Amino acid sequence: MAHRMAVTVTDRAIAESPTRTLIRPPRVREIALLLLLVVLGPRPAISAELKPETVAAFERYVEITAARIEAELTGPGPFLLLDRRSDFDRHAILKTIQGGAVFIQPLETRAPNGAEISIPDGMVHHWYGAVFIPGPTLDQVLELVQDYDRHHRIYPEVVDSRLIERDGDRFKIYLRLVKNKVITVTLDTEHDVSYRRVDARRAHSRSNSTRIAEVENADQPGEREKPIGQDGGFLWRLVSFWRFEERGGGVYEESESISLTRGIPFALGWLIRPFVTGIPKESLESALGATREEILRGPGPRE
């Protein structure tokens, strides 16, 4: 079919996605270990090492995904991913986002031969999200998302942000991210973001992380960055693709977010799993929702 998505989104994939998986309660031994750690102070050794083969596999995953997206953006089919879905799926997405909610779904890119792309010693997290923002023009939405000096006032996970440099529609930005789920992790990150305007009503962008450093003792006298690639492994790479289309009295915003984290060691799964499986989905959902809320709030003073 001409409108069939080139990624795998099956009922099985959704059923097995982190959003539908019930995390079993910790066993007595694990609870005892957690209480001991609280009493004694230091948290367990959860460091991981980013290996070249892990990076290579992730880059292959992104490359195949990017090729599919480029074909969609330059080909004759619909611009938005939601318009490439079956009528049933498209109706479900539109009902969700036109009702004011954010639609989120896991995706999976496979190799050209249909094989799964293995990520040795790591995990790839690929999510699709969509939101509808009633009222604004495309220019107004782009003005907001490109105002990187204000991102820390708009997006909940961003506690500091600034534009490093701009060259036309290319931006280099800094974001300090704080992610909290069972444990709290602070990350100093830099990203290259490029925008392409298709016409007066459509635009798309791509963001690539260029530096991610985990911060130890954040906002304390002993604050320091851990060696890059030798840290907790909670976020090693982040690539995101965005589409914006003005129509129907507002702007549709879509994103595909692809992140790389460490794998989950058996002994510390109870501690690490909720973070590495839950945060990627929740981060995308939060970002889309925050853009919508900020636009609807309208101009005025901000805290």
Res 188 pLDDT > 70 = yes
Res 3 pLDDT > 70 = no
For residue 26, what are the β-bridge partners? Answer: none
Q: Is residue 103 assigned to a domain?
A: yes
What does each C-alpha distance from 247 to 92, 179, 201, 250, 294 come to in angstroms?
Answer: 18, 34, 7, 6, 19
Average pLDDT over residues 120-128: 97
Q: Is residue 13 assigned to a domain?
A: no
**What pLDDT digit, counting tens, does each position of 76-96 carry?**
999 999 999 999 999 999 999
| Domains contained in the chain, number | 1
Pick 182 or 262 by higher pLDDT: 262
Contact between residue 284 and residue 260 where contact means Cβ atoms under 8 Å apart: no
Half-sphere exposure of 255 (CA within 13 A, CB side): 26
Q: Provide the 8-state DSSP code for 33.
A: H
Give the pair of three-digit tokens for residue 116.
């799964």
Q: Is residue 239 assigned to a domain?
A: yes
Q: Is residue 57 assigned to a domain?
A: yes
Amino acid at position 111, single letter? A
Average pLDDT over residues 157-179: 98
Taking the CA atoms of residue 259, residue 265, residue 269 and residue 271 in that order, the dihedral angle to the nearest 10 degrees is: -80
Q: Is residue 17 assigned to a domain?
A: no
Q: Is residue 10 assigned to a domain?
A: no
How many Å apart are CA 70 and CA 66, to the nearest integer?
6
Q: How many CB atoms lie within 10 A of CB 96?
A: 16
How many Å apart are CA 183 and CA 291, to the nearest integer?
26
Q: What is the CATH number of the domain that holds 61?
A: 3.30.530.20
Q: Is residue 262 assigned to a domain?
A: yes
Average pLDDT over residues 103-125: 97
Q: Is residue 11 assigned to a domain?
A: no
For residue 202, what are the β-bridge partners? Answer: 199, 245
Place of tokens 């919508």: 292
Give the pair of three-digit tokens for residue 264.
């989950």
Range of the domain at 216: 27-297
Q: Which of these ranges, 6-20, 123-137, 145-159, has the smallest mean pLDDT? A: 6-20
For residue 186, what are the β-bridge partners? Answer: 178, 215
Res 30: pLDDT: 52
**What pLDDT digit, counting tens, does each position of 202-245 carry?**
999 999 999 999 999 999 999 999 999 999 999 999 999 999 99
Rg (the chain; Cα; Å):
20
Res 100: pLDDT: 97
How many Å apart are CA 265 and CA 194, to the nearest integer?
36
> Model's pTM, two decimal places?
0.84
Give the pair of three-digit tokens for residue 159.
């506690």
SS3 call for 168: coil
